[in-house]
Copies of this chain bind each other. A is one copy, B any other.
């Protein structure tokens, strides 16, 4: 192992790539996963697949994370997690990951090793292996991940535009945890469960496949906020959705966070986190009558005919808040 205090510009590209490559081993080593060529060649070559799921997403310093609030390992975990989440949202499991990393020249090899630990650790948690990468320099840290999954023969991918009137709407996890965690961090409370959730979302590994096997009509992941992503799914499907406050899952930690952050408007603040908080990366699906909704999903509403994209809460139209990547938070 290189001295962790050595910078990437001192160590050179080959040493950095060796660290980023991680435990997968060099090209030519058969890792038993059916791949023909792994890391270290011009490209990876994956074995036969009946259908391949592909998605890409980039994490950018000062847009998605701050180096003073997030560890290098967390950056790696989060970059992988948010892409895995998109593969799960097609009703698939993630099997492979390729990673492109850009860092300033003064970044140390110890930081690169932490980043690699996060990337490989999260990939392993998701059941995936890292099969390729790219390394370059930039004035800010950028981690681009492409996640790949496969669907078994005949399996139907769970699209975003196939929700149908009458479907029940259901969600994994507790929305708003990431947003509440960020609010706590920005208010000077760096540590805690919600803060960890913000830094590294816990993707519901296996739940995309479970939704598919259970007979879901449509599935997406909640990255920009529950109402925004639900509205997007409804618009794509030409349908509308009705939510009820009483059925929304509200983690008690959100109430605690609101208390910590101040006494005015606590209930509204919690509801905003739940409805508009982004980056939880839970799965949001619609299930027709007769479908088996997996136990990790909570039913929060119903799909109906109506103005495409409209979402109501207790009968009142709700305008999406949440995150817009071009404009920032609304």
Chain A: residues with CB nearer than 8 A to chain B?
8-16, 27-28, 36-37, 40-58, 60-64, 85-87, 89-90, 92, 96, 98-102, 105, 131-140, 142, 144, 146-149, 151, 157, 159-161, 219-221, 236, 324-328
Cβ–Cβ < 8 Å partners of A160 in chain B: 27, 40-42
**Of B47, B100, B140, which is within 8 A of A56 by CB?**
B100
Contact (A58, B142) CB under 8 Å given A42-B220, A325-B137:
yes
A42 in contact with B86 (CB, 8 Å): yes
Contact (A327, B9) CB under 8 Å given A50-B48, A52-B46:
yes
A43 in contact with B36 (CB, 8 Å): no
Minimum distance in angstroms from A12 CB to a CB of chain B: 5
CB closest chain-B residue, reference A59: B136
Cβ–Cβ < 8 Å partners of A85 in chain B: 42
How many chain copies does the complex carry? Answer: 2
**Of B52, B57, B140, B219, which is within 8 A of A140 by CB?**
B140
A-B contact pairs, 14 of them (CB 8 A): A13-B325, A15-B326, A43-B87, A43-B149, A45-B53, A45-B54, A55-B132, A56-B98, A56-B144, A58-B100, A63-B136, A135-B325, A137-B328, A139-B140
Minimum distance in angstroms from A100 CB to a CB of chain B: 4
Minimum distance in angstroms from A70 CB to a CB of chain B: 16
B56 in contact with A89 (CB, 8 Å): no
Assembly CA distance A324 to B13 (angstroms): 6
A138 in contact with B136 (CB, 8 Å): no
Assembly CA distance A41 to B147 (angstroms): 14
A144 in contact with B54 (CB, 8 Å): no
Assembly CA distance A44 to B9 (angstroms): 36
A51 in contact with B47 (CB, 8 Å): yes
Contact (A41, B140) CB under 8 Å given A51-B36, A56-B99, A102-B58:
no
Assembly CA distance A239 to B122 (angstroms): 37
B148 in contact with A102 (CB, 8 Å): no
A326 in contact with B12 (CB, 8 Å): yes
Assembly CA distance A48 to B220 (angstroms): 23
B326 in contact with A135 (CB, 8 Å): yes
Interface contacts beyond A12-B327, A62-B139, A105-B327: sample of 13 additional A-B pairs, CB < 8 Å, sorted by A: A40-B161, A41-B159, A42-B85, A42-B90, A43-B90, A43-B149, A48-B51, A49-B52, A58-B136, A60-B138, A63-B136, A63-B137, A136-B325
CB closest chain-B residue, reference A47: B51
Cβ–Cβ < 8 Å partners of A325 in chain B: 13, 16, 135-137
Assembly CA distance A253 to B261 (angstroms): 67
